[in-house]
Amino acid sequence: MTDAVGTHTGTETALRQAEAGPAAGPPREVAFTPAFSCRGVGVGFGAKTVLEGVDLDIAPGTVTALVGPTGCGKTTFLRTLNRLNDRVPGFRRSGTISLVGEDLYDRHMDPLVVRRRVGMLFQRPNPFPLSIHENVIAGVKAHRLAPRSELRSITERSLREVGLWEAVADRLGSSPFRLSGGQQQLLCLARALAVRPDVLLLDEPTSSLDPVSTEAVEDLLRSLVPGLTIVIVTHNLAQARRLADRTVFFHGGRMVETGETAELFENPQQEETRNYVSGRFG
């Protein structure tokens, strides 16, 4: 769980486990409780199956990229990791997903708590129709994570973190809709980070940003690990290579391959992966 002032406790626990190392013998990796552990996961809508049989562990404090051609299920899978599909008509899921060892879909698991621990940034910026300040602290207030007296400083800290403070410091009470698209996306990122999530899910977060803003967001994301676990969907394979420790390739209704990013791009084990990373389709 995350405390009021916001430490990434779930991730920290896992990192401490890793630092301490196993008591004896077994390889280092088994000391981690994965941020996510997926076993036999299938997702679909009504009669349509989107993905089947996904077995995937996501280590805490790492960046994982989800790649694959359009329509292969990246967004559906990502949204399944913080229960955003729960209310989508016809959505169905099979298999199990654990969040730091707990069953994500257990009936005692509160989806609102899940979404605080697992933040999300969408392809298109979605500021709320509130002031810039109220946007940043919307989650902090909703979850009562801090007293009123601290809200201003949380806004400043969060906006500084994403590099937006200088641009908006004199108009915190104004509407966010006059900001540029890139600035709106940074604002949404500040809002997502303000609740100090354990995990951040990002769905093509830089697809509407210029190269300078894209680089700034990538630098920021890299600076957030290992304090945060990041899962990012991207069509930009160069971005996956720059950012991700591991990459997952979805195609044809399944997870074709996963591995360390450099390995997956330079020495793919499956022909479909080889064709995709060499730009032959997608």
Residues of this chain that interact with Mg ion (CB under 5 A) are 75
User: How far apart are the C-alpha atoms of 155 and 75, rounded to whole Å?
Assistant: 29
Distance of closest approach, residue 145 Cβ to ligand ATP, in angstroms: 31
Partner in contact with 70, chosen from ligand ATP, Mg ion, none, beta carbon below 5 to 8 Å by kind: ligand ATP
Q: Quick one: what does residue 206 bind among Mg ion, ligand ATP, none, with the CB cut-off 5 to 8 Å set by partner type? A: none
Distance, CA of 246 to CA of 65 (rounded, Å): 6
- Shortest reach from residue 66's CB to Mg ion, in Å: 9
State the minimum distance, in angstroms, from the CB of residue 204 to Mg ion: 7
240 alpha-carbon distance from chain centroid: 13
SS (H, E, C) 184-234: HHHHHHHHHHHCCCCEEEEECCCCCCCHHHHHHHHHHHHHHCCCCEEEEEC
Position of tokens 């400083």? 153
C-alpha to C-alpha distance for 65 and 51, rounded to whole angstroms: 17
φ, ψ dihedrals at 231, nearest 5°: -120, 120
88 binds, among Mg ion, ligand ATP, none (CB under 5 to 8 A by kind): ligand ATP
Cis peptide before 69 (omega within 30 of 0): no
Q: How many residues bind ligand ATP (CB under 6 A)?
A: 12
DSSP state letter for 178: G
Q: How many CB atoms lie within 10 A of CB 106?
A: 11
Site for ligand ATP contains 202 (CB under 6 A) = no
Closer residue to ligand ATP in complex, CB, 73/127: 73
Q: Which of residues 12-51 bind ligand ATP (CB under 6 A)?
A: 45, 50
Question: Residue 77 and residue 98: Cα distance in Å, rounded?
Answer: 14
CB of 262 to Mg ion, least distance (A): 25
Site string for ligand ATP, 52-91 (x = CB under 6 A): ----------------x-xxxxxxx-----------x-x-
> Which residues sit at the interface with ligand ATP, rule CB under 6 A?
45, 50, 68, 70-76, 88, 90
